[in-house]
Chain A
Amino acid sequence: KNEVEQSPQNLTAQEGEFITINCSYSVGISALHWLQQHPGGGIVSLFMLSSGKKKHGRLIATINIQEKHSSLHITASHPRDSAVYICAVGRDDKIIFGKGTRLHILP
Chain B
Amino acid sequence: AQKVTQAQTEISVVEKEDVTLDCVYETRDTTYYLFWYKQPPSGELVFLIRRNSFDEQNEISGRYSWNFQKSTSSFNFTITASQVVDSAVYFCALSEAGSNYQLIWGAGTKLIIKP
A and B: real partners? no
Taking Cβ atoms with an 8 Å cutoff, the residues of A that contact B are none
